[in-house]
Amino acid sequence: MSCRRWLFVKLPPFTALAEAAAASPARGRMVGAQNCHWASAGARTGEISAPQIAECGAALVELGHSERRAHFGETDVAINAKVKAVLAAGLRRWSASARRRRSARSMPPR
């Protein structure tokens, strides 16, 4: 007999992250950010660092989304730097690579 554990994940915009994290303390629910920058500090206008995400009470960060790759040119190297930053901040990474593989075939060449 197989026992499946379901996990409900919310990925709100950063402006609602702290509020969503505070409202979702239930077991089996996690709140995460949609993206982060690989630098933990410094002037990165408009970017959110992994430590800032952790301070909001989030548990994970989604990385490698096809939209980020297509519209912002994110590479595996950049995503790897973000993964290291996320783990260093004590967060989990939420990999969107499966979606990327599926949708990459339908995306027009750059």
Query: What is the per-residue pLDDT across 2-35, written as a single tens digit (0 to 9) for each?
Result: 555 656 788 999 999 999 998 877 666 789 999 9
pLDDT mean over 33-50: 91
Beta strands in the chain (DSSP E): 8-10, 29-33, 60-63, 92-95
Dihedral sign computed on CA atoms, order 40, 20, 66, 68: negative
| Six-digit token string for 46 | 């408009």
Nearest Cα residue to 40 out of 49, 53, 32: 49
What is the pTM for the complete model shown? Answer: 0.77
Give the model's confidence band at 1: pLDDT under 50 very low, under 70 low, under 90 confident, else very high: low
Segment holding 69, helix H or strand E: helix 66-72
pLDDT band at 100 (very low <50, low <70, confident <90, very high): very low
Q: Percent of the chain having pLDDT more than 70? A: 76
Query: The tokens of 102 are what?
Result: 């599926």
DSSP annotation of 41: S
The whole-angstrom separation of Cα 75 and Cα 98 is: 15
- pLDDT recorded at residue 52: 95
Which two three-digit tokens encode residue 15? 């402006």
